[in-house]
Chain A
Amino acid sequence: MNTRLRILRTGKDWSQEELATHVGVTRQTINAIETGKYDPSLPLAIKIAHLFGMHVEEIFLLPEKELPRPVRHDVLFKGR
């Protein structure tokens, strides 16, 4: 998963330690998220997004090729 977390964090002039304290994890976890080695859980991703006043998908991005093709609404609700 790609993330803009490091850019956002440094933009706020926060250290990894400070960000970690805000969201209740260790500094190593923030480092692992920033380097793409660990994908945060949904609650943690929401906490981080909330802290920056953004949506989760504005911070954490899946590469285009890993995303499923969007299903058309009429196909999704066929037979209703």
Chain B
Amino acid sequence: MHEPSGAIKGSEFDIKQRHPFLSFYLSAAAFSVVIVLVGHMHSFWQEVARVLALLIGAFALWSFYKLFRLTDERQRQTNEQALRFAFLATLVLSLLVGLVRGFDSPLVPCGAILAVMLIAWSVGLILYSWRYR
């Protein structure tokens, strides 16, 4: 049974990875949103949102761990490079924001930093996996 080398189709591996991948993305995005919302809430609802953020964050970490466990060596390498890219991009961006605002501006919410990291990680994944296509 032959298959053209360039053909892209969903493999067993792809199907297994799809669920934790989606779970991670959605939960990480939800975590960022809830963390930002916590700052705008008061009293009882703030505590509820904090607990919710904690639960969603734990689920996001678990999904990422599950995703990482399901990757093969090439994907793991791509993932590590993308993470490195995300950390560096977030660091540079944070420094730039700090410099532009003159260090005395209100703090950027950590939810926003997480969102930036998530976006940078996604960009890194696209960039580094492009090499192997």
Contact = CB atoms under 8 A, between A and B. Distances in A.
Nearest to B8: A28
A17 B74 contact: no
Contact of B2 (A10, A26, A35, A38): A10
A6 B6 CA distance: 13
Interface string A19-43: 0110011111101101101101100
Of the four ranges (under 10, 10 to 19, 20 to 34, 35 or more), the interface on chain B belongs to: 10 to 19
A26 B5 CA distance: 13
Contact of A26 (B1, B3, B74, B133): B74
Q: SS class of chain A's interface: helix, strand, loop or mixed?
A: helix
Nearest to B14: A26
A3 interface: no
Contacts of B1: 13-15, 18
B11 A24 contact: no
A21 B132 contact: no
Interface in B59-105: 72-75
B5 A6 contact: yes
Nearest to B72: A25
A29 to B, nearest CB: 4
Contacts of B75: 26, 29
A40 B131 contact: no
Nearest to B10: A27
Residue among A10, A14, A17, A18 with the highest chain B CB neighbour number at 10 A: A17
Contacts of A10: 2
10 contacts: A15-B3, A20-B11, A21-B12, A26-B72, A26-B75, A31-B5, A31-B132, A32-B74, A38-B132, A41-B73
A10 B3 CA distance: 9
A24 B13 CA distance: 9
A27 B83 CA distance: 23
